[in-house]
Structure 1
Amino acid sequence: MFKRLFGEHGAKDVLTVFHKPNNAASNRVVTYLKQISANAKETGTKDQANQEHVEFNLDVQEGPPTGDQLNSLLEYVGSKNAGKLIVGARDTSDALAKLKEDAELFQRPVVVDWHQGKVAIGDNQSEILKLVKSIPKPE
């Protein structure tokens, strides 16, 4: 329903990157997404793999996610993967508690497509590209 409400009428998806400027992997991810976005806007046609790129809005967040955002992220990745988002977290409640204790425990970079409920953790370009390519094309 969320996707239907916001994905209609040619609206662009929003990809959020939880970014840490002094982290090389995080900087690579932001640069990579900016390049993908610029290429999609510039050519509007094809990428290296001959697949059409869709346009998206890039939202770069330097702070950690809010509690509600973290709940959504954990729902997307599954409670058993909480430790991939929050260092040492065993499950959702542990992740929320640890984030309140120390925001630096949140792993960055994290790319999120809130409309589709998809997450790419880290700087794996193939995973990020897969996430971008899964964005529905506007009708």
Structure 2
Amino acid sequence: MSFRFHRSIPNLSIFHNARSAHSERILQLLRSSLSNPYAPPRRIAAAGAKAEISGTSTIKKLLQRPLEFNLDVSTAPPTPDQYQTMLDYLRTQQLTQSFFTGPSSLARFLVKHAQPVSSTEELSELASKNPSSVRWPVVVHWDNGLVAIEREDEVNNILEVIYEEANGGVSVQQQDWLT
């Protein structure tokens, strides 16, 4: 008899501003990872380096299928409660994961020279009234408590987490050995 645990589909949100080039590019990256075979950039680089050394390529093995996740695209700014949840996630990320950078405070959401805010309510109001004062996009992996603000490398880190979960945490070297 075999037992199989059902894995739920991850839930991601992108708080998107169509006037932001960063936001457009990252939205395209997310949509592309849903429709085209995806492998994390770091894994492709590692596979390329290994291919140079050994003469065998594992890149095709990495590019098996698109990622599977629910993507919610919101053109409205986050609510104060959503911002508070994101701040909690950022504080946890700083403690547990070295690939996410930056402060875990409200300032992390603001562009340089933006008026300072002292609460998530003020931040949400500022994002509604003056979207150019806020960094776009904000991508949230609600199930794993991960947040990426404006930076494509942080979004790729979130996608890599989804990739590894979908592949049972199997690394490139393990995939080679198994196939």
TM-score, with length taken from structure 2: 0.58
Percent identity over the alignment is 28
The number of residue pairs the alignment matches comes to: 125
Query: Which runs of 5 or more residues in structure 1 are unaligned?
Result: 1-7, 41-45
1:82/1:137 CA distance change after superposition, 3 Å: same
Report the Cα distance in structure 2 between the residues aligned to 1:131 and 1:102, rounded to whole angstroms. Answer: 24
Instruction: Show the counterpart of 1:67.
Output: 80
Partner of 2:140: 112
Higher strand fraction: Structure 1 or Structure 2?
1
Per-residue displacement from partner, 1:12-47 (whole Å, max 9, x unpaired)?
10111110012111100100111111124xxxxx62
Per the alignment, residue 11 of structure 1 pairs with 8
After TM superposition, which residue ranges in structure 1, 4 or more long, deviate above 3 angstroms?
A: 50-54, 86-91
Aligned to 2:35: 38
Distance 1:130 1:102 in 2: 25
Q: Aligned letter for 1:32?
A: L
Which shifted more, 9-18 or 73-82?
A: 73-82
Q: Is 1:76 paired with 2:92?
A: no
Larger Rg: 2
RMSD: 2.8
TM-score, normalised with respect to structure 1: 0.73
Asked if residue 127 in structure 1 is aligned to residue 154 in structure 2, the reply is yes
**C-alpha separation between the residues in 1 aligned to 2:149 and 2:137?**
6
- The reply to whether residue 137 of structure 1 matches residue 166 of structure 2 is yes
The answer on whether the counterparts of 1:110 and 1:119 sit within 8 Å (CA) in structure 2 is: yes
